[in-house]
Amino acid sequence: MHKHTLGIRSLELSALGFGCMGLSHGYGSTTDTQRIAEPQWTEPSTMATDTRSSAALPALMALCLSVGAMFSLTTQAVEAPKSMTTPQTTAQALSNKQQTIPLIAAFMATSDMPNLNAALNQGLDAGLTISETREILVQLYAYVGFPRSLNALNELMTVVQARKQRGIEDAPGREPSQAIPVGDELLAAGTANQTKISGAPVKGPVFEFAPVINRYLQTHLFGDIFERDNLDWQSRELATVGALAATPGVEPQLRAHMAASLRVGLSAAQLGEVTEQLKKHGDAQTAERANAALKEVLAASKK
């Protein structure tokens, strides 16, 4: 870069000089009579210097730099609140993997093996691990019975083997990472899980009439099963909603698990997606039951 040496202090200045920074942003544009002609630079050997001007130059440059810095800070101060106060809206939607879970559950509950086969393939394609898929089918025995659970597990084995023969290696997933408690500790853990999912301690005439049924729920379903951490609670509730929606006559339980789904972090919009998936890929009556249950739960929550 071409430079000039100025004054008795041998200050070096680019030939671009002060022209590298404009001040019109701060002071407005000049009129024609105010314009300063572009300086005609000469070589240092012939350039006359004025000691008064050279002494004032550092102060002038410092002033220019401070004005520029002040303008920069002022701009940041104005823009920062705007960026900090702009609301961040993120549309919540079920993942592709989550969308397949209610369908798997619904087809298992109705023993619809051809559609279950297709849904299992879709779930694995969407990222469900073998462990997660197996866990869904194991858990649902508590809602739709051992025979359907066993048949669905056999179907999953068939699907995994067929995919392997086609060169598809599905992720095995992981087994539960924590030991399941036993005895009184299991009852305490299951009761805590049941209360959290239900929103309050579970009680009522049926549990007074048959206390053992609640103990089975607490120790086995909410203890042995829900303590297994290889499937998250949102996925467990999506599966339960799908299975119950496909089962006529269990509307009270379906409503209870719609409410439980909200408690474990699923949104009303996501549950609406469940009803749409059931309507699009499943059975119309299943979708209607799911939609009716969701509407009742949301209406009750507004009272």
Domains located in the chain, CATH noted: 96-175+230-301 (1.20.1290.10), 178-229 (no CATH)
> How far is Cα 44 from Cα 292, in angstroms, rounded to an integer?
89
pLDDT value at position 303?
Answer: 79
DSSP-H helix ranges across the chain? 24-27, 51-85, 96-109, 113-126, 130-139, 141-144, 146-165, 183-198, 205-209, 211-216, 233-245, 251-263, 268-281, 284-301
pTM: 0.70
pLDDT value at position 92?
Answer: 86
| Tokens matching residue 20 | 């590298």
Per DSSP, the three-state class of 126 is helix
Cα 43–45–46 angle (5° rounding)? Answer: 75
Going by their DSSP bridges, the two strands 3-6 and 11-14 should be labelled as: antiparallel
pLDDT tens string, the chain, 303 residues long: the values are: 555 555 544 555 555 544 444 444 443 444 444 443 444 433 333 334 444 444 444 443 444 334 343 333 333 333 333 332 333 333 489 999 999 999 999 999 999 999 999 999 999 999 999 999 999 999 999 999 999 999 999 999 999 999 999 999 999 999 999 999 999 999 999 999 999 999 999 999 999 999 999 999 999 999 999 999 999 999 999 999 999 999 999 999 999 999 999 999 999 999 999 999 999 999 999 999 999 999 999 999 987
pLDDT value at position 200?
Answer: 95
